[in-house]
A and B are shown apart, each in its own frame.
Chain A
């Protein structure tokens, strides 16, 4: 079958739909038992380009001490190109393949798809950036790893209204204490739930 690259929102979240707590911390997440088989490596192997918002970028910058240890970026992401959506001036990770952009996600998405060369486009977050892609019909899949945590408040997973016609649950998988749920989004969900499930199942799985 023809494998078409997807634009994917892959993220961890609390049970109540937050990707970071009120202090913009992920400490609640790193305490969770992820089992022996974190699916991120297999997922990221299928990614050819990725994008994040300014808040997410600044969090990574600080959490991984990237200005002092820029090699950490390369260890995590290699040479894969990353787009950062920002209206502010942000510090650049030395020698990292990062593009600072702002404005319409459509134009950036086109560039990302070209750069991805047939691989997938990963939207790291935050929720609002992903929402902008969804608004433009550019989001194909959501893979959310739900942590056994409720936060009560924080940064929202996806601050949009997406009805059931636009989302189809294509898979569930428990790894350690994480519940991974995979959804086909938009046209992929609309063209037929069963077909969408079949099509996704026939792909190289994001995890095993």
Chain B
């Protein structure tokens, strides 16, 4: 059963990037790759989507225009959708779809491309919120870093009550607390 999942790291106080749009606070955290469940998670992903700010961050942080092959190292042939109102630079050789507007038709296309695997929403919070608003978010997986930021890019700028969210799993992996929530449909 295909799930649409918002999988992200966050600070304790609910920010996915700091005020300077940096993730340095995240990368300085110790812990071996063995503790990181991302590879296992991504193995079941068949399509993924991100917002323009996230895309630009990845582009710059990983110097993908200079080293476009790194994209394939990370994401293989998995198709990505980028929601943007701006003209963004594509990464040579990457399977990218630049889209805007209603998330529903895009989600349909992603489901088809995923061919039974899961759909990953990388972020930011506003994009994940748009999927949640449309009832298209099934699961939230948070890796909570041992950091407080005080300000930054919000994890999920929406009000979603406990009638829609249920804690499925909690585990400690190294310095991170991993929380998995099942997300129900919006109230009519």
Shortest CB distance A155–B (Å): 11
Tell me, yes or no, whether B68 is within 8 Å of chain A by CB: no
* Cross-interface CB contact of A163 among B28, B142, B176, cutoff 8 Å: B28
Shortest CB distance B60–A (Å): 22
Bound-state Cα–Cα, A171 to B172, Å: 7
Q: Is the CB of B12 within 8 A of A164?
A: no
* Cross-interface CB contact of A179 among B11, B149, B161, B177, cutoff 8 Å: B177
Q: Is the CB of B162 within 8 A of A179?
A: no
Residues of B with C-beta under 8 A to A102: none
Bound-state Cα–Cα, A174 to B146, Å: 18
Tell me, yes or no, whether A94 is within 8 Å of chain B by CB: no
Q: Is the CB of A161 within 8 A of B154?
A: no
Q: Is the CB of A172 within 8 A of B172?
A: yes
Q: Is the CB of B181 within 8 A of A148?
A: yes
Question: Which of the segments B74-82, B85-93, B100-108, B163-171 contacts the partner chain?
Answer: B163-171
Most buried by B among A14, A28, A148: A148
Interface size on A, residues (CB 8 A): 44
Bound-state Cα–Cα, A32 to B165, Å: 10
Q: Is the CB of A152 within 8 A of B172?
A: no
A-contact 0/1 string along B146-182, CB 8 Å cutoff: 1111110011111111110111001110011101010
- Which residues from chain B sit less than 8 Å from chain A, CB to CB? 11-15, 18, 25, 28-30, 140, 142, 144-151, 154-163, 165-167, 170-172, 175-177, 179, 181
Starting from the known contacts A16-B14, A152-B154, 11 additional A-B residue pairs (CB-CB under 8 Å) come to A15-B155, A15-B165, A28-B162, A148-B162, A149-B162, A152-B159, A164-B147, A169-B177, A172-B172, A172-B177, A179-B179
